[in-house]
Amino acid sequence: MIEGSLPLEEALKSGYHIRKIFYSPRILEKPGIRNLLDKAAEKDDTACFEVTQSDLKNISSEVNPQGICAIADMKSFNAQDLSGNILILDGIQDPGNMGTLIRIAHWFGLGGLILMGGNVDVANPKTVRSSMGSFFFLPYIYCDNLTSSVLGERKCLVSRVHGGLPVREYKKSGLFALVIGNEARGIQSDFSKFDPIDITLPRPGGAESLNAASAAAALLSVIICT
């Protein structure tokens, strides 16, 4: 399920096949919507249906739908589709957080995600919506038992709130896989067999913790951009 014009536009750009689009008449007043519908019909032979706002409310998962939503075919990926640096997400249960993490991974040019146990469904409509379209540009795999063959040559970096190597002291060498865990419980899976490096952000203000997505963005900004 794709909800909103921006995620739908990004899905079309990325090559996802859009099966059906449902829209209310009022959204046709928004600039670019008619063109978006025309592109969808030309590119994917997509069926477009004008529906009432009430019908759209029944189709959509949103309390107040934005006026357009779509159904797309899912894609499936394997470990070979992951490239470069990646995120490993461990127990991220909030769909909004998951979507923001996908958006952050896309922003920093990561090549995919590994989803360990306990994560929210990556295709949850709120996750897709929160990713602002980035969902459609990153491969992802579910992996309850991570192996060296899946991790490849990437160095495993485990984000810790306390006790890890300060991130500015990490000397980047080769590719990495950054593990981000649940905000309340931290990292749940055992990564010890990969000889990981525990890294942490400095806390000059002394706050107890950071939102998982905020922590990922801060860590990646240092690891990649400095």
> In the chain, pLDDT over 90 holds for what percent of residues?
73
- Dist CA 222 CA 226 (whole Å): 5
In the chain, which segments carry CATH 3.40.1280.10?
Answer: 79-225
Q: In the sheet where 18-23 sits, what is the strand order?
A: 2-3, 68-72, 18-23, 47-50
Yes or no: say if 197 and 171 are a contact pair by the CB < 8 Å rule.
Answer: no
Residues 6+ apart with CB under 8 A from 156: 88, 176, 177, 179, 191, 194, 195, 196, 197
CATH number for region 79-225? 3.40.1280.10
Q: What is the pLDDT of residue 43?
A: 73
Q: What is the pLDDT of residue 218?
A: 94
Tokens 């950054």 correspond to what residue?
Answer: 178
Residues 6+ apart with CB under 8 A from 79: 141, 149, 150, 152
Q: What is the pLDDT of residue 45?
A: 80
**In the predicted model, what is the mean pLDDT of residues 92-105?**
95
- Dist CA 224 CA 86 (whole Å): 12
| CA 15 to centroid of chain Cα atoms | 17
- The answer to whether residue 210 scores a pLDDT higher than 90 is no
- The answer to whether residue 44 scores a pLDDT higher than 70 is no
**In the predicted model, what is the mean pLDDT of residues 174-203?**
89
Q: What is the pLDDT of residue 225?
A: 87
Per-residue confidence band for 89, with pLDDT thresholds at 50, 70 and 90: very high
**In the predicted model, what is the mean pLDDT of residues 106-121?**
94
Which superfamily does CATH assign the domain made up of 2-72 to?
Ribosomal protein L30/S12 (3.30.1330.30)
DSSP 144: S
- The answer to whether residue 69 scores a pLDDT higher than 90 is yes
Per-residue confidence band for 108, with pLDDT thresholds at 50, 70 and 90: very high
Structure confidence by residue, pLDDT tens digits, 139-151: 999 998 899 999 9
Tokens 């470069």 correspond to what residue?
Answer: 84
Structure confidence by residue, pLDDT tens digits, 118-175: 899 999 999 999 999 999 999 999 998 899 999 999 999 999 888 889 999 998 889 9
